[in-house]
Amino acid sequence: MSNAILTRAFFLLIGLSVATTFLAGVLPEAGPVFVLSVLVLSGLKSFVILSDYLGLRVARAVRGGFTAFLVGFLGLAALIYAMPLAM
């Protein structure tokens, strides 16, 4: 794996972490918007880690399985959060 890919992934993770920190300071009262934003950012960070640091960018089938699991897990977390709001 090249250093350029790892460096790009590193800076992307820093940018996504800064965005998460910014949201935590600005939108904590926003409720569902805040929770969904944090879930999306955490999903993006997980995807970067899986693709670049674990090298799954070249193993497309395995990366697809992990991506499906991440989407399902984050979707389930969003549904669990939204269940009390629907009642």
Q: Structure pTM? A: 0.81
Closest CA to 47 of 74, 27, 21, 24: 74
Number of H helices, E strands in the chain: 3, 0
**How would residue 27 be classed by pLDDT, with cut points 50, 70 and 90?**
low
**How would residue 28 be classed by pLDDT, with cut points 50, 70 and 90?**
low
Closest CA to 12 of 39, 40, 47: 47
Cα(6)–Cα(8) distance, rounded to whole angstroms? 5
| Whether pLDDT at 7 is above 80 | yes
> pLDDT tens digit string along 39-68?
999 999 999 998 888 888 888 888 889 999
CA 50 to chain centre: 11
The residue that leads in pLDDT, 52 or 28, is: 52
Chain-wide mean pLDDT for the chain? Answer: 87
CA 29 to chain centre: 21
